[in-house]
Amino acid sequence: MASRKPTLALEPPQSGQRKKGLSTRQRMREAAVELFADRPFDDVQVGEIAERAGVTHGLMFHHFGTKRGLSR
């Protein structure tokens, strides 16, 4: 009787993991740049940037303090 190796079902990457290899800070900055390319700075919400980067709103503030902090 031949033994079968168990197979692992890999889950598809979460939205924030779509750009493999980028650091969290890089993903947040890239998400912001993408959104700012479409709309004026003041029209983009931090929550939108966080969602696109696949992080929490709180993590955005932890890393950058404010939306303006993304440009530093």
In the prediction, which pLDDT does 72 show? 76
* 21-71: in CATH 1.10.287.3510: no
Of 39 and 70, more confident: 39
Q: Mean pLDDT, the chain, as a whole number?
A: 81
CA distances from 54 to 8, 10, 26, 61, 64 (A): 24, 19, 12, 14, 16
> Can you give the residue ranges of every domain in the chain?
21-71
pLDDT at 45 over 90: yes
Tell me which amino acid residue 29 is: R
pTM: 0.68
Integer Cα distance of 12 and 54 in angstroms:
14
Percent share of the chain, pLDDT over 90: 64
Rounded mean pLDDT of 3-11?
52
Integer Cα distance of 19 and 14 in angstroms:
10
